[in-house]
Amino acid sequence: MRTLSLLICLLAIALPAHAEKGHVHGEGSLEVVIDKGRLSLRLELPLDVAVGFERAPRSDKERAALAAAQQALADPALFVPTPAAGCKPEPVRIAMPTFDGNKPAAHADIDAAYEFSCATPAALKSVETTIFKSFKRLYRLDARRAGPTGQGAGRLTPKNPVLAW
């Protein structure tokens, strides 16, 4: 029992509370749910990753950058489920951060929700993303998944942009 406690202590040191991911620049998070014929993805991207600043836009250039990021995220082809599953994308919902006047903002995230309806959900085995091509400042996407085959976690990177299960 003592050895076990030691192991637990080591783990407790090695692993801080993971449940609520903080805001880390360069890292986004992705929640993946497969329920019956629906594949739902929820993406949270630090604004910094998308446009390079985390405050209200101050120039036309920055406003254009925000609009470009929103447009890039609105493309459902950003995520590619297993082709064999026959998933059809539905309109993307995007929540851009709102800026409160001239108050210096703390952190800001963009939330985007991607929904697919899949003809053969049993064939759904992976989701690939092209998001790293659109957002060069993004170096990691921490993915968490819940589906009929169980739950899991994965790490998507520019070199490994596939979440498979």
Partner 1 sequence: MKAVLRLAALSAWSRRLTLGLTLVAIALAVTLLLAVERIRTDARQSFTQSVSGVDLVVGARTGGVQLMLYAVFHAGAASNNIGWESYRALASHPAVDWALPLSLGDSHRGFAVLGTSADYFSRFRFGDREALRWREGKAFAGVFEAVLGSEVAQGLGYRLDDKVTLSHGLVEHGPEHGDKPFRVVGILAATGTPVDRTVLVSLESISALHLDWIGGAPLPGVAIPAEFVAKFDLRPKEITAALVGLKQRSDVFRMQRFINQYRGEPLLAVLPGVALDELWQAVAMVERTLLAISALVVLIGLAGLAATLLAGLNERRRELAILRALGAGPGRIFLMLTVEGVLVTTAGALLGLGLLTVGSGLAAPWLLERFGVVLATRLPGSQELALLGGVIATGLLASLVPGWRAWRMSLADGLTPRN
Distance in Å, CB of 104 to partner 1, minimum = 24
Report CA dihedral (138, 144, 147, 152) to the nearest 10 degrees: 120
d(CA 22, CA 12): 18
Specify whether the CB–CB gap between 121 and 34 falls below 8 A: yes
Which CB atom, from 39 or from 66, has the smaller least distance to partner 1?
39
By CB under 8 A, is residue 37 in contact with partner 1? no
Instruction: Tell me which stretch binds partner 1 (CB under 8 A): 49-57, 85-93, 126-134, 147-155.
Output: 147-155
Q: Does 17 bind partner 1 (CB under 8 A)?
A: yes
CA distance 28 to 107: 13
Name the segment binding partner 1 (CB under 8 A); options: 75-83, 117-125, 129-137, 150-158: 150-158
126 binds partner 1 (CB under 8 A): no
> Exposed, middle or buried: residue 59 (CB in 10 Å: 0-12, 13-18, 19+)?
exposed
Amino acid at 107: H
Among 23, 37, 40, 117, binds partner 1 (CB under 8 A): 40
> Is 59 an interacting residue with respect to partner 1 (CB under 8 A)?
no
- For 62-76, give the DSSP string: HHHHHHHHHHHHT-G
Contact positions vs partner 1 (CB under 8 A): 1, 3-5, 7-8, 11-12, 14-20, 31, 33-35, 38, 40, 42, 144-148, 150-155
